[in-house]
Structure 1
């Protein structure tokens, strides 16, 4: 079969799904069958599930629903928003850097304990953070960690180094997430200088990822900051590691202990945070409006007007 014939439009993919639904195939069977034929250019599992459900409920059209009207199916606006949110979440890949220390003492609140009335509290000695630490760059999505890179000591994290990581994470996505590249990656990173430098921008362009603009000074809209790093640091705090390798093992064990639902919840939280942010922080409008646009199939102007009235 010619290579060009393996690339279908989204409507052609939907027609294939509809045909297989009519034959009585399940979403799982349809995904497996289309993946075996179309490979990397095939439709994602989430999209197959969504359209299989729609066709099973009696939907006939292959067209997208217009946001201003109700679809001629049993699917409600609420379900459409949920389906769109699921689809968008499967496309997001996010990244950030963080310090991992051989020893990071517990906060004052963490070791607190109850004591009897009149009993003197135990003495607590001031403990300093370990000077030995590594910079970890962690790429992850709704299914789990894609790539963890530890910056070699005496190496500077600069645009050239980061550009190399972008190439590596694309390779990791191809290897670990079949169909994700063809669906289109929504890449979310903050505005750190190494991310916005010309060399890094060019490398990002070459990956084919679509970058989602992130407002400055907004850790509350960075999934790594408000979710994954926060939980990782809490898990590692108070533990002593003999060397860098022990630190790396602990980080890997932390993430391996989490299921896909854990990571999905962290990505989905971005939507709710964007809803709050749109009405409280003007500087967050671009990221939040962009997410609103993708979920509701609206225009950027619609998103801003809807949320700001």
Structure 2
């Protein structure tokens, strides 16, 4: 299982679980620790401006331990209505092209697969990521328009990057 954190500039962290392991709240918090360090290295200044994550309501994301971690560091969560893949950039923008890229490939080892996965992400143009994040803005605006929900993140309205 892989978890990828990305923004309009590209991948910040690709976290791959060893085969046979599953994600729980403790593992997710450990991943957030690595994400925090990756942001510090790759996106200097972002931690001071504030981090807004979008993730679903899976148990590791909504667990008390995770919520405490997020509160401790002041990270915000962009709401994600249940069963809304049209609002998850990985679902609507990332997984289709990745599936097409990997289609028909066979890997002898898990390491071969991981290497190909990392290579694919490393070779994506930054425009790919910007388009995906900017698509999120229009999708949220459509959702807000259709449902009448006002969405704000600490008083900041969603804006294009």
TM-score (ref. length: structure 1): 0.48
More RCO (CA 8 Å, sep 6+): 2
Map 1:39-188 → 2, pairs under 5 A = 135-188=1-54
Q: Contact conserved, 1:166 with 1:207, CA < 8 A, in 2?
A: no
Between Structure 1 and Structure 2, how many residues are aligned? 158
> What value does the CA root-mean-square deviation take over the aligned residues?
2.0
Distance 1:243 1:255 in 2: 19
Which residue is equivalent to 1:294?
157
Measure, in 2, the Cα distance between the counterparts of 1:207 and 1:232: 32
Mark the runs of 5 or more structure 2 residues left unpaired by the alignment.
Answer: none
Q: Which residue pairs with 1:38 in the alignment?
A: none
Report what 2:105 is aligned to: 239
Hey, what does 1:285 align to over in structure 2?
149
User: Which secondary structure does the structure 2 equivalent of 1:166 belong to?
Assistant: helix
For the residues of structure 2 that align with 1:208 and 1:215, how far apart are their CA atoms? Answer: 21
Question: Match of 1:206?
Answer: 72
Please give the alpha-carbon distance, in whole angstroms, between the structure 2 residues aligned to 1:290 and 1:246. 42
- CA distance in 2: counterparts of 1:277 and 1:166, whole angstroms: 28
TM-score, normalised relative to structure 2: 0.89
- Asked whether 1:230 is paired with 2:93, we answer no
Q: Partners in 2 of 1:138 and 1:272 — Cα distance?
A: 22
Which of 253, 265, 275 matches 2:141?
275
Secondary structure of the residue aligned to 1:285 is coil
Shift of 1:277: 1.9
Report Cα offsets for 1:96-123 as digits up to 9, x if no partner. xxxxxxxxxxxxxxxxxxxxxxxxxxxx
Structure 1 regions of 5+ residues with no counterpart?
A: 1-134, 297-309
How does 1:4-23 map onto structure 2 within 5 Å? none
Larger Rg: 1
Give a deviation string over 1:229-248, Cα, whole Å, max 9, x none.
Answer: 22211211111111111111
Runs of 4+ in 1 over 6 A off after TM superposition: none
